[in-house]
Amino acid sequence: MATFTYGRVSTTEQSADNQRIEIEAAGHQVDFWFADTISGKTGATQRPQFAALLSQIRNGETLVVAKLDRLGRDAQDVCATVKLLASRKIAVIVLQLGKLDPTSPAGKMMLTMLAAVAEMERDLLVERTQAGLARAKNEGKTLGRPSKTTAEQRANIIAKYAAGESVSALARMFSVSRANILGVVKPS
């Protein structure tokens, strides 16, 4: 029987390679490796590579993941994913949990508690991020991407647009996109 492994990262600046290395270092043979670059907010079965894994893995085989949150976006999703895998007699190994059978009654209880804690940590992270953004905004800091044009250029763009210059011509003139010009001349 084959061993399937799965990793997930949130951004393209990250790599799931460390998760694969961690799984191999724990002594698991990687017969099939699947990895998604997708937000943790996306349910497990909605992730393209996890869905591909589910279609390829056969009943009775093994799935190894480095961390519990790779199996779902929240406690409910993790439990649903493990239940789906258990219904197919697929053994699930979560390195983070050690030698715990997530399909046993004790394993299910631990899984539910740990998934709830992981969900709470994610919610707290979002809360802290929002609080930090609000504080920065209250301090007068400019949030978001830096403008591609200077204040002087924006005034020039507005004047030329008012004089009848087209959006496309202005975009070429200032080496920015049409959307950027429209944001200057028709702010929302």
Q: Contact 184/151 with Cβ under 8 angstroms?
A: no
- Catalytic residue (choose from 10, 104, 168, 177): 10
Which tokens sit at 185?
Answer: 């001349």
What is the distance between the alpha carbons of residues 188 and 185, in angstroms, rounded to a whole number?
Answer: 10
What is the distance between the alpha carbons of residues 71 and 66, in angstroms, rounded to a whole number?
Answer: 10
Q: Contact 85/116 with Cβ under 8 angstroms?
A: no
What is the distance between the alpha carbons of residues 125 and 130, in angstroms, rounded to a whole number?
Answer: 9
Q: In the annotation, is 39 catalytic? A: no
What is the distance between the alpha carbons of residues 87 and 98, in angstroms, rounded to a whole number?
Answer: 22
Exposed, middle or buried, 6 (CB in 10 Å: 0-12/13-18/19+)?
A: buried
- Say what the alpha-carbon torsion angle 94, 96, 98, 103 is, to the nearest 10 degrees: -40
Looking at the DSSP bridge assignments, the partners of residue 6 are 34, 65
- Supply the residues annotated as catalytic: 10
